[in-house]
Chain A
Amino acid sequence: DTEVTQTPKHLVMGMTNKKSLKCEQHMGHRAMYWYKQKAKKPPELMFVYSYEKLSINESVPSRFSPECPNSSLLNLHLHALQPEDSALYLCASSQPPGAGGPSYEQYFGPGTRLTVT
């Protein structure tokens, strides 16, 4: 099973709202990722968690706040977003080298389509 699930599928929020995106995987992967994808563009890395610790923040504005409550879950908390933050937000997971199983293969969820009004 190589499934990564994301909720909600669609989200419309105003610039003053606070919302959260959720991601879950049950593959035993210990690395989880958030990407942002604009229309007709490739995914862009935002954050990486490895063994539940934040290991990479690609200079993402503080209005995006990631959280990894446990090895299966990844959240992205959103606050005071701008219309230009409207995009498809993708979660992915992989197995770090040495953790058992094939490493490097990143599996993506279906994404959350976010619209900021």
Chain B
Amino acid sequence: GENVEQHPSTLSVQEGDSAVIKCTYSDSASNYFPWYKQELGKGPQLIIDIRSNVGEKKDQRIAVTLNKTAKHFSLHITETQPEDSAVYFCAVSRPAQGGSEKLVFGKGTKLTVNP
């Protein structure tokens, strides 16, 4: 089955700095790569995603890059703010039975942005 490795497990940055989280995956048939932010006591929130036919996607301070050949993708957060502090999960998806999809998550990165 799919194996997703996520690094680092914890990341501490100063407000205004950039943060980068990296994930690698094993199944070359995977075709969709979302990133989720989970704050304490809440469900995961989809913040950005990328599909296998795209190399990079940006949404304001957040960007994701994908290298399908090397099977890795990264989340980039610029100009970090204290409210960016949360656990971030990468995930990898491929179509499953019945038109649904199966998400496999990385182990998560706890990001702390210090004021």
Contacts and interface: CB of A to CB of B under 8 A. Distances in A.
A and B are partners in one complex rather than unrelated chains: yes
Interface of A: 2, 4, 6, 30-31, 33, 40-43, 45, 48-51, 53, 55-56, 90, 94, 96-99, 103-111
Contact of B32 (A33, A53, A104): A104
A51 B98 CA distance: 8
B3 interface: no
A96 B46 contact: no
B42 A45 contact: no
A31 B99 contact: yes
Contacts of B32: 104
Contacts of A31: 98-101
Nearest to B44: A108
Contacts, number: 83
Contacts of B99: 30-31, 50-51, 55, 96-99
A64 B76 CA distance: 38
A90 B95 contact: no
Contacts of A30: 99
A47 B49 CA distance: 23
A94 B89 contact: no
Given A108-B43, A108-B45, A110-B42, A96 B100 contact: yes
A105 B34 contact: yes
A104 B97 contact: no
Contacts of B107: 41-42
Interface of B: 32, 34, 36, 42-46, 49, 51, 89, 93, 95-103, 105-108
Nearest to B51: A104
12 contacts: A31-B99, A31-B101, A33-B100, A42-B89, A43-B103, A43-B105, A48-B98, A55-B97, A106-B101, A107-B46, A108-B43, A111-B42
A56 B34 contact: no
Contacts of A109: 43
A55 B95 CA distance: 12
A99 B103 CA distance: 19
B103 A45 contact: yes
A17 B93 CA distance: 36
A94 B100 contact: yes
